[in-house]
Chains A and B, each alone.
Chain A
């Protein structure tokens, strides 16, 4: 697939409120975000003929279609965890490229915070591979799985806790510039290292937030994008890949499928790493950002610790990363992928106020889902 300015993202937004929203369900946060993103695009709900969503319910796209009164020609509930929505960009672009639909909505809503407050808990199927071979050992949540991956990277390459903390600190600096971010107090490396342990080597502040939020994006053809409200953000390249589902099956803890999804996205886009003005990378944990930057080729294997040192990814740094404040400090309802897209589009449109990256023209978004399992990469640009 070659997509040279054939497909564009023309609308993005969150739900009306994000953060702690106990009176909302995942579906109604998703619905608000879809309405808001369509308003942002200046596209009528009746024009939507492609629906892409994941995880808000079983048969997610079917339920969301019913809820929103949409009867799509293309339906896609592809569920790859937090990377789902970035992978949906590729699926939506392919569908639009093939003429199967013209106005695609990618949507998500999730109430991770309020689920926890309501005492809702994930069920574990004890006969599934994970239920038999990981859950009995206390491996049923993301933190210990990602933590083991980080430990291996530290062992092989000497990556330090301070270097991981650099990412949390840089991300917080961006959040301090984003009025919608939940965590906006200044943060130091020492603060990160002094926060309580979750799962070695992760302290609390190495881990993403758990919030309630919805988000959506509107993707359409170049022809339709000519008459939307705002300038189109072109989808230049995309890639998707997965290597395993549960952490004990991960081929190598020190790189992810972002190697494959990134390589394909860069090749399709025909741009180099040095041309990327900013990255929005799913930061479930500090290590996720480090290993993803390496896997995407921004630095070599094992060089991620040195790469993120000296606040390289912070405001004013050489490579702005997670300019919204990310899942670490802005919001993170459970599957963050959609919010990487929203922020990249806003940056490329120049809508980001205090946190605006000057002259941002090309952005990379990357989502990781599962236990470093499935990744999607997209390269977006404005004229």
Chain B
């Protein structure tokens, strides 16, 4: 993609299903059949018990902002045109956390707060790569 210069993920076998699902606009989270827990990021062995009986489960896509920041100074030139923008760590209802960007929201700390409810949206940044991102939802919608 000629006009997308930001760093992109390179999937590996353990993560390929996650990124393939994202392209289908689905959020998959690995679940360990041995200890019956979700975990994230995807990897060969469960970080809770080192079990390898791992199943991909579709996540609700709902969660809450564990924390966020508004970046005013790009750490990488490819993000220079985006500042200010919001990076965040979201805790999914399934109990796992992932890094993301918050979208459809003003990049204003006064408009953001920890624990605010969010839902996943899918940003097709290139024909090959879709990045799961999150947008605020009203508390009553939950």
B10 touches A132 (CB 8 A): yes
A129-B41, A200-B72, A201-B109 given; A248·B89 CB < 8 A: yes
Q: Is B71 an interface residue (CB 8 A)?
A: yes
Q: Is B75 an interface residue (CB 8 A)?
A: yes
Q: Is B79 an interface residue (CB 8 A)?
A: yes
Tell me how far the C-beta of A332 lies from the nearest C-beta in chain B, rounded to whole angstroms. 16
B67 touches A138 (CB 8 A): no
B7 touches A148 (CB 8 A): no
Alpha-carbon gap, A147 to B75, bound state (A): 13
A137-B131, A247-B89, A248-B98 given; A131·B10 CB < 8 A: yes
Alpha-carbon gap, A357 to B94, bound state (A): 51
Alpha-carbon gap, A61 to B62, bound state (A): 47
B7 touches A247 (CB 8 A): no
* Residues of the A chain whose Cβ atoms lie less than 8 Å from the Cβ of B9: 126-127, 131-133, 135-136
B87 touches A155 (CB 8 A): no
Tell me how far the C-beta of A118 lies from the nearest C-beta in chain B, rounded to whole angstroms. 15
Alpha-carbon gap, A136 to B76, bound state (A): 11
Best-buried of A124, A134, A248 by chain B (most CB within 10 Å): A248
Name the contact of A143 in the complex, choosing from B10, B66, B75 (C-beta under 8 A).
B75
Alpha-carbon gap, A129 to B115, bound state (A): 25
* Residues of the B chain whose Cβ atoms lie less than 8 Å from the Cβ of A306: none
A131-172: CB near B (< 8 Å → 1, else 0) gives 111111111110110011101100110000000000000000
* Residues of the A chain whose Cβ atoms lie less than 8 Å from the Cβ of B99: 133-134, 137, 139, 246-248
Q: Which residue of B lies closest to A132 (CB)?
A: B9
* Residues of the B chain whose Cβ atoms lie less than 8 Å from the Cβ of A156: 114
Name the contact of B12 in the complex, choosing from A127, A147, A200 (C-beta under 8 A).
A127
* Residues of the B chain whose Cβ atoms lie less than 8 Å from the Cβ of A124: 7
* Residues of the A chain whose Cβ atoms lie less than 8 Å from the Cβ of B137: none
B66 touches A253 (CB 8 A): yes
Q: Is A271 an interface residue (CB 8 A)?
A: no
Alpha-carbon gap, A367 to B11, bound state (A): 33
Q: Please tell me the size bucket of the interface on B.
A: 35 or more
Q: Is A226 an interface residue (CB 8 A)?
A: no
Tell me how far the C-beta of B8 lies from the nearest C-beta in chain A, rounded to whole angstroms. 6
Alpha-carbon gap, A44 to B101, bound state (A): 54
Name the contact of B69 in the complex, choosing from A129, A131, A134, A148 (C-beta under 8 A).
A148
Q: Is B59 an interface residue (CB 8 A)?
A: no
Alpha-carbon gap, A140 to B6, bound state (A): 11
A147 touches B69 (CB 8 A): yes
* Residues of the B chain whose Cβ atoms lie less than 8 Å from the Cβ of A67: none
Alpha-carbon gap, A246 to B98, bound state (A): 11
* Residues of the B chain whose Cβ atoms lie less than 8 Å from the Cβ of A248: 89, 97-99
B76 touches A140 (CB 8 A): yes
Tell me how far the C-beta of B62 lies from the nearest C-beta in chain A, rounded to whole angstroms. 18
* Residues of the B chain whose Cβ atoms lie less than 8 Å from the Cβ of A260: none
* Residues of the B chain whose Cβ atoms lie less than 8 Å from the Cβ of A253: 66-67
Q: Which of A175-183, A191-199, A262-270, A319-327 touches B?
A: A191-199
A138 touches B85 (CB 8 A): yes
Alpha-carbon gap, A301 to B6, bound state (A): 38
Name the contact of A138 in the complex, choosing from B41, B74, B113 (C-beta under 8 A).
B74
A126-B9, A127-B12, A248-B97 given; A200·B109 CB < 8 A: yes
Alpha-carbon gap, A167 to B109, bound state (A): 22
* Residues of the A chain whose Cβ atoms lie less than 8 Å from the Cβ of B19: 132
A136 touches B131 (CB 8 A): yes
Name the contact of B15 in the complex, choosing from A132, A136, A149 (C-beta under 8 A).
A132
Q: Is B88 an interface residue (CB 8 A)?
A: yes
* Residues of the B chain whose Cβ atoms lie less than 8 Å from the Cβ of A126: 7-10
Alpha-carbon gap, A98 to B69, bound state (A): 46
A131 touches B7 (CB 8 A): yes
Nearest 9 Cβ contacts at the A-B interface: A141-B75, A132-B9, A155-B114, A147-B69, A248-B99, A197-B72, A152-B67, A126-B10, A200-B70
**28 A-B pairs (CB sep. < 8 Å):** A131-B7, A132-B9, A132-B11, A132-B12, A132-B15, A132-B41, A134-B99, A135-B9, A136-B9, A136-B131, A138-B6, A138-B82, A140-B7, A141-B75, A144-B69, A148-B88, A148-B89, A149-B67, A155-B113, A156-B114, A197-B84, A198-B72, A198-B73, A199-B69, A199-B72, A201-B69, A247-B99, A253-B67
